[in-house]
Structure 1
Amino acid sequence: MEHFVVSARKYRPQTFKDVVGQQAITNTLTNAIEHNHLAQALLFCGPRGVGKTTCARILAKKINQDGTEREDEDFAFNIFELDAASNNSVDDIRNLIDQVRIPPQIGKYKVYIIDEVHMLSQSAFNAFLKTLEEPPKHAIFILATTEKHKIIPTILSRCQIFDFKRITVKDAAEYLKYIAENQGINAEEDALHIIAQKADGAMRDALSIFDRVVSFSGKELTRKAVTENLNVLDYDTYFKATGLILEHDIPNLLLLYNKTLSYGFDGHHFISGLASHFRDLMVCQHTDTINLLEVGDGAKQQYLEQAKKTNNPFLLRALDLANECDLKYKSSRNQRLLVELTLMKLASLGFDAEKKNFNGELNTQSVDFIAPASFYKGKHTERTFEQPTPSAEHQESNPKVQPSLVTPQQNNPEKTVNIPKKDAEVATLVEEEKSNYEPQPSKPVQKEPQLDESAKKLGMDIAKKRISALSISSLKAKKAHEDSKKDVSIDYSKLPRSSFTEEQMQQHWEDFVAHIDKKGRKILASNLGADIPKLQGENVIWIELPNSTMKKEIEREQYDLMEYLKTNLNNYFIELKITVNEATAKKFAFTPEEKYEKLRKKNPAIDLLRQTFDLDL
């Protein structure tokens, strides 16, 4: 039987041009040799199997070439390799130092390659320092290590450091393709990409895996053969699982997971691979990030097709669920149940963001319609409510019933919304939601304004369609709504502008704060009560707050407040001015001493109580 040479040795690069994925380092070394700028000590550090020892041998051979040597000359007499893992004592380093003094017999330089140099003992490092810093002019040291952090700083400062990077999947796959063509092997591109991914950036590991798979499959290297031999899950498993998730098919998804377990894979492997699959679908959502997908052209096309069926919110939530399961897997007592529960959650995600009942049918329809001032006659009011959508049966039996816009009904209790009887439950929820955002005025207000024809028409068009909050249809509808607002001019002369006093404004302000406090909106009520509002000019209400956080909170929630004040003060030109004064924060007591001082000012007797019982803060 003919002696077999593994690919890692057979295809070891003999020149810098053959080195894979380290162009920056090989170009630097080539230029250093050509311009005679080579340092006396070099440190090659990086992951395993990326070409450190290979580059050291090529460099040792190249610096002794002068054009007169034979083509197959390897300068073996001038190259000394030392394994520091087994020769790590002081005596070994002393023997090396004694050899350094002898000049080379052939060539110009003697090169000492010390592999795994981080394994040297502390005393051996110290014995090596002087020789490494000032070696003879004919000696060059090349140190190689995978753990640079274990080398003492005094050694690092005497070396020129070269950091080798991991081999990319693309570079490794291209080199494997070159080797397969040399050996007459018909290899699928996806199969070579799987081998490159399994190697995790190490070219030597990729070549070892390649030899193993070729021994298994022969001259035809297919993706199926690679996945079977390497015991990795194929892309098809994750494509099928994602398809079942998008179809909300929980039974078949659990059967697929059970089938995967029967092949010998554990749940941790499956869920982590599914998370990686979601990540790959995410990078396919944008043309600029498709290059981050490290797969073959055939698999890339599958990713692009499935990415079109998903969207970013769904993928983000799916990634979050899969990652949470990955983190909890090792600590879980019932690991299979944990993965199955995660799969059921994934299959229950409504990536169209629609609200569904237990039967899976659409029950309510959210219509975001905010009417601008120009749509109203007289009073100016803006609201957003959820409009129930009549069921198909009800629409068939009542063809004249059309969805209508829901408007505020503060002072018109007789006005009702056209809601089907079958959806009475939804109507109750709508009324409860409306009550949360409609504070009762402290004095009678004028009759509610009516929508003009353009507003009603636009509202009906929006209400007729079932629009998802994350769909393209909703974006188009909102854009059409914005465009329609531009065409309507606002007649400010018809809006009321009654004058009011500061006392009236403060009274309505307090009424609004008390109302929202009863409704449970404690934070907003507390922020609004932090300062007494003041009237600046005729229409500007000014409030001063101790920090910007409270200001942002009020600005975000000021809509209901301003509507309440405009309605009750009968002035739609009121503006709210909020300023921040850090000095006002001093009136709040935070430390125990400040709280005590505040209590003592309110009741001096507390000081007597403290002295009597000898109390301390």
Structure 2
Amino acid sequence: MEQFIVSARKYRPQNFSTVVGQAHITTTLKNAIRNQQLAHAFLFCGPRGVGKTTCARILAKTINCEHPTADGEACNQCHSCTSFNDGTSLNIHELDAASNNSVDDIRSLVEQVRFAPQAGKYKVYIVDEVHMLSASAFNAFLKTLEEPPPYAIFILATTEKHKILPTILSRCQIFDFKRITTNDTVEHLQEICEKEEIKAEQAALHLIAQKSEGCMRDALSIMDKIVSFTNGELSYRNTLEHLNILDADYYFKLMECMLNQDLSGAMLLYDDINRKGFEGDMVLNGFAEFLRNLLVSKDPKVAALMEVVETFRPRYLEMGARVSPAYLVSALNLVTEAEMHYKGARNKRLQVELALIKLCYLQQAIELTGESGKKKLMEVRPLNFRLLQPVIANPSAEQGRPSQQQPGVTTRENGAKLIIEEPVARKIMEQAAVKTQPVQQPIPAPQASAPTLPPQPQPSQVNNPAPKAGKLGSLDKIRQNVSAATANSGSIPKIELTDELLRKAWIEFTDILKAAKNPAVPSFELAELRINDANSFQVVTPNNLQQKFIDGQRIELSEYLQNRFHNRALTYQVVIEAREDFELTTERPLNSKERFQAIIEQYPLVKELKDRLKLELDY
């Protein structure tokens, strides 16, 4: 049985022309060999699996070739090339700096440099993972690297260039390797599949190239693994299953549900994805990449940046034309935020489902309205996000009467509608405010003999105060302004602020708090009221604790008193004054001597017994 060799070793490039994706490196090295302008030290740096060590070996073989070709390639037929291919060449020394990173290892390498090559022109020293050398080893290597013998060439390879000392970098000719593109990886994998007689789909090879992220060694390892799994047949479905990648078709279905505001369909689709074993963060990450590709596909200039399977490219272009850029940008922000919060969430599935709910109703929150022939994006703040009930497409057909639709209000079939056209909506709300505003009846002035107050409000008015003023144009704001204008218009006379009336209103408000079992009741009962003028008074409390309790009811208390006295300018201030009648008297515990004195005062015989026995007490 023939021994199996992995593709990464079996199809390792043997000359510069077979190196994939590094033409800028190989061309420079071939020209340097042909023109005999070789440096004495090279530094190959770049990501893993892109050909650094491979190019170092090809360079070492080519400069010792006895019959190089005209374009600077090795002949692969001479004694030097064959010995190199067989691994028996004495002119090439490889050192793994990850396991040989001490000063002694570098000193041993320096000792070998003193001996000239027995055959060939150069002795080549390849130091792989050179960034793993210790600082002492780097310092021991400096002098030899700066002034080596004319027959010695050093090739250093590393994936972390920033860890190498600047003194080493300044002595080397640096070559930066780049990641291999997806197309180059696919072409190389296709050539290997043809040589190995493997049936491979183009979409499957594209998936492998994307998964490898520019690393050819990873791509070849993944392909070997899938070929072993599928018995020599590389299909798109098998590749998705083996690499645990969610099919892009699911993302297209999710987007269809979101455009149609089909929340139930999106939830069921995610449940199907979850049952297949895909984690939520993988779904969010994949959907974010899907949205990015849709956004890129909208502009023909950057459509080439889409990293998708070629068979899906027309579907991306079609879907991208249906979705607005505003929706894609907003959806991308939502998905990215959900992905950031996913790791810290306790209920991870709920985190993903919440993102899907937001995406399904995102279309309602973003409306493009025409202004002067241009389209303007209207922003809806989260606090004012309000969905109306679903509107029937044609209500007149069911009720048998003509449909009357207000101008500026549009309907949507089988869905909810968010109206954000402010000029029309504001006009409608102003009309509604005028119609629904209650008529204020005049209240007679109080008589001098028996002071009276207006009817007492219900407890719900204190516990549930009037809503705060919101955005201009809202119905509540209009009603509040109209109510305030009516109260201050002079149609309802103000009630004079007196000690008796103020105390009576204060007691009534305290009773309301008692009914609601509010903990601030004792503070209100102990408070003292002092009138400053016709529009203000003071609430005197003995300490800051009671002040906080009273301040906690400031909004409800102010609204209550202003309504009772028909005075919107009525205000009060809570002040702290120490009161003698409120001071707490605390008793100090008696010491031993004081307790004995208290005992002998109550029982004199105890003192007599002490004196007769001549006892000494230790207080």
Is 1:6 matched up with 2:3? no
Give the aligned partner of residue 72 of structure 1. Answer: 82
Is 1:145 matched up with 2:148? no
Give the aligned partner of residue 113 of structure 1. Answer: 126
- Structure 1 letter corresponding to 2:256: G
Is 1:134 matched up with 2:147? yes
Give the aligned partner of residue 393 of structure 1. Answer: 396
Cα 1:132–1:304 shift into 2, 3 Å: same
1:396 shift after superposition: 11
CA distance in 2, matches of 1:258, 1:404: 41
Is 1:188 matched up with 2:188? no
Give the aligned partner of residue 50 of structure 2. Answer: 50
Give the aligned partner of residue 525 of structure 2. Answer: none
1:236 shift after superposition: 1.7
SS of 2:245's equivalent?
coil
- Structure 2 letter corresponding to 1:114: V
Cα 1:427–1:270 shift into 2, 3 Å: closer
CA distance in 2, matches of 1:346, 1:261: 18
Cα 1:180–1:402 shift into 2, 3 Å: same
CA shift digits 1:261-308 (9 cap, x unpaired): 222221001101100011111111111112111233212122222222
CA shift digits 1:580-605 (9 cap, x unpaired): xxxxxxxxxxxxxxxxxxxxxxxxxx
CA distance in 1, matches of 2:282, 2:167: 43
- Structure 2 letter corresponding to 1:267: G
Q: Gaps (5+ residues) in structure 2?
A: 69-77, 374-392, 409-417, 431-471, 475-619
Cα 1:116–1:314 shift into 2, 3 Å: same
Is 1:299 matched up with 2:309? no
Cα 1:351–1:182 shift into 2, 3 Å: farther
1:404 shift after superposition: 10
CA distance in 2, matches of 1:207, 1:427: 55
1:253 shift after superposition: 1.2
- Structure 1 letter corresponding to 2:108: N
Aligned counterpart in structure 2 of residue 279 of structure 1, from 277, 292, 303 = 292
CA distance in 2, matches of 1:144, 1:367: 60
CA distance in 2, matches of 1:296, 1:242: 18
SS of 1:106's equivalent?
coil
SS of 1:39's equivalent?
coil
Give the aligned partner of residue 456 of structure 2. Answer: none
SS of 1:287's equivalent?
coil
Give the aligned partner of residue 188 of structure 2. Answer: 175
Cα 1:34–1:351 shift into 2, 3 Å: farther
Query: TM-score, normalised on structure 1?
Result: 0.59
1:393 shift after superposition: 2.9
Which structure has the larger Rg?
Answer: 2
- Structure 2 letter corresponding to 1:232: I
Give the aligned partner of residue 35 of structure 1. Answer: 35
Cα 1:337–1:66 shift into 2, 3 Å: same
Give the aligned partner of residue 82 of structure 1. Answer: 95
CA distance in 2, matches of 1:89, 1:392: 86
CA distance in 1, matches of 2:419, 2:259: 28
Give the aligned partner of residue 441 of structure 2. Answer: none
Instruction: Indicate if the aligned counterparts of 2:407 and 2:424 stay in contact, CA closer than 8 A.
Output: no
Give the aligned partner of residue 24 of structure 1. Answer: 24
Cα 1:290–1:352 shift into 2, 3 Å: farther
Cα 1:405–1:320 shift into 2, 3 Å: closer
1:405 shift after superposition: 8.7
1:73 shift after superposition: 4.4
Cα 1:369–1:84 shift into 2, 3 Å: closer
SS of 1:140's equivalent?
strand
CA distance in 1, matches of 2:169, 2:32: 20
Give the aligned partner of residue 178 of structure 2. Answer: 165
Instruction: Indicate if the aligned counterparts of 1:47 and 1:202 stay in contact, CA closer than 8 A.
Output: yes
Instruction: Indicate if the aligned counterparts of 1:114 and 1:143 stay in contact, CA closer than 8 A.
Output: yes
- Structure 1 letter corresponding to 2:174: I
CA distance in 2, matches of 1:80, 1:27: 24
Give the aligned partner of residue 252 of structure 1. Answer: 265
SS of 2:302's equivalent?
helix
Cα 1:318–1:119 shift into 2, 3 Å: same
Give the aligned partner of residue 577 of structure 1. Answer: none
SS of 1:72's equivalent?
helix
CA distance in 2, matches of 1:109, 1:351: 73
SS of 1:136's equivalent?
coil
CA distance in 2, matches of 1:13, 1:394: 76
1:124 shift after superposition: 0.6
CA distance in 2, matches of 1:429, 1:129: 74
Is 1:265 matched up with 2:283? no
1:354 shift after superposition: 4.6
CA distance in 1, matches of 2:264, 2:399: 35
Cα 1:393–1:427 shift into 2, 3 Å: farther
CA distance in 1, matches of 2:296, 2:31: 38
Instruction: Indicate if the aligned counterparts of 1:284 and 1:303 stay in contact, CA closer than 8 A.
Output: yes
- Structure 1 letter corresponding to 2:33: I
- Structure 2 letter corresponding to 1:26: T
Give the aligned partner of residue 426 of structure 2. Answer: 433
Is 1:325 matched up with 2:338? yes
SS of 2:155's equivalent?
strand
CA distance in 2, matches of 1:426, 1:233: 37
Is 1:217 matched up with 2:210? no
Cα 1:433–1:142 shift into 2, 3 Å: same
Give the aligned partner of residue 117 of structure 2. Answer: 104
CA distance in 1, matches of 2:185, 2:322: 31
1:225 shift after superposition: 0.3
1:231 shift after superposition: 1.3
CA distance in 2, matches of 1:352, 1:323: 18
CA distance in 2, matches of 1:426, 1:250: 20
SS of 2:99's equivalent?
coil
Cα 1:13–1:317 shift into 2, 3 Å: same
CA shift digits 1:1-36 (9 cap, x unpaired): 321000000000011111111111111111111111
Instruction: Indicate if the aligned counterparts of 1:16 and 1:58 stay in contact, CA closer than 8 A.
Output: yes
> What is the aligned length?
396
CA shift digits 1:182-225 (9 cap, x unpaired): 11111111101111111111100100000000001123211110
CA distance in 1, matches of 2:355, 2:54: 47
Instruction: Indicate if the aligned counterparts of 2:251 and 2:287 stay in contact, CA closer than 8 A.
Output: yes
Cα 1:404–1:22 shift into 2, 3 Å: same
Instruction: Indicate if the aligned counterparts of 1:190 and 1:299 stay in contact, CA closer than 8 A.
Output: no
- Structure 1 letter corresponding to 2:396: E
Is 1:233 matched up with 2:246? yes
- The within-5 A match list for 1:439-454 is none
TM-align CA RMSD: 3.4
1:436 shift after superposition: 11
CA distance in 2, matches of 1:341, 1:202: 36
Identical-pair percentage: 53
Query: TM-score, normalised on structure 2?
Result: 0.59
CA distance in 1, matches of 2:98, 2:133: 7
Instruction: Indicate if the aligned counterparts of 1:285 and 1:311 stay in contact, CA closer than 8 A.
Output: no
1:309 shift after superposition: 2.2
